[in-house]
């Protein structure tokens, strides 16, 4: 009968002497730098880059994994975001107001969208200053970028198509060309 405590004590001693086994979820960042052969690759796409929200409800977390708390929730489908870093299937994003956080890659789409940042922007019929006006757009109006070249981008906002000055929107880089 005294054999059971001795065996239990031996098992405990062996467990304490054995090297620690670290179990980490696949979406958790490492505690220390990894060797090149251990680094999990992201999407392979350029960083930074623009993307947009796939859904009306996207959890934005404090870190790249489900164990991290939800800091806030995006509630506007097609809102443009800038992907500023990647970890495995997680993307660190920045919105047009500068807020950052982590979202799962499945919540993003490559669709190019915009948000108007100017107090009032003009949607023009052709890509030139003084062209006939299609509509006036206020700050935070969202739309889709169809193409961009030079100082103007062709966009669609609520079924209205036209050209807007690049400096009036967020969702494309200053020298980026989009066809």
> CB–CB of 91/108 below 8 Å?
yes
Kindly state which CATH superfamily the domain 44-111 is placed in.
SH3 Domains (2.30.30.40)
Cβ-based burial of 54 (10 A; exposed 0-12, middle 13-18, buried ≥19): middle
Output the pTM of the full model: 0.76
pLDDT value at position 43? 84
pLDDT value at position 34? 41
- Model confidence over 154-165: pLDDT tens digits? 999 999 999 999
- Model confidence over 93-110: pLDDT tens digits? 999 999 999 999 999 999
Is the pLDDT reported for residue 37 higher than 50? no
Query: DSSP secondary structure string, 19-52?
Result: PPPP---TTSPPSSPPPGGGPPP--SS-SSEEEE
* 87 or 15: which leads in pLDDT: 87
- Model confidence over 16-36: pLDDT tens digits? 333 333 333 444 444 444 444
pLDDT value at position 41? 62
CATH class, 114-170 region: mainly beta
Is the pLDDT reported for residue 119 higher than 50? yes
* 146 or 14: which leads in pLDDT: 146
Domain ranges of the chain: 44-111, 114-170
Q: How far apart are CA 11 and CA 5, in angstroms?
A: 10
Same fold, 44-111 and 114-170: yes
Is the pLDDT reported for residue 174 higher than 90? yes
């Amino acid at each position: 009968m005294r054999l059971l405590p001795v065996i239990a004590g031996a098992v405990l001693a062996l467990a304490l002497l054995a090297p620690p086994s670290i179990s980490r979820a696949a979406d958790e960042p490492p505690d220390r730098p990894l060797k090149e052969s251990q680094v999990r690759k992201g999407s392979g796409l350029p960083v930074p880059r623009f993307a947009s929200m796939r859904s009306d409800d996207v959890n934005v977390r404090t870190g790249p994994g489900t164990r991290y708390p939800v800091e806030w929730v995006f509630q506007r489908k097609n809102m443009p975001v800038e992907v500023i870093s990647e970890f495995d299937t997680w993307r660190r994003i920045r919105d047009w107001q500068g807020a950052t956080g982590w979202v799962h890659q499945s919540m993003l789409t490559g669709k190019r969208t915009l948000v108007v940042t100017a107090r009032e922007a003009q949607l023009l019929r052709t890509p030139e200053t003084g062209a006939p006006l299609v509509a006036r757009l206020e700050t935070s109006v969202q739309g889709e970028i169809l193409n961009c070249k030079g100082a103007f981008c062709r966009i669609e906002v609520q079924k209205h198509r036209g050209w807007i000055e690049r400096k009036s929107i967020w969702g494309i880089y200053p020298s980026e060309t989009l066809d």
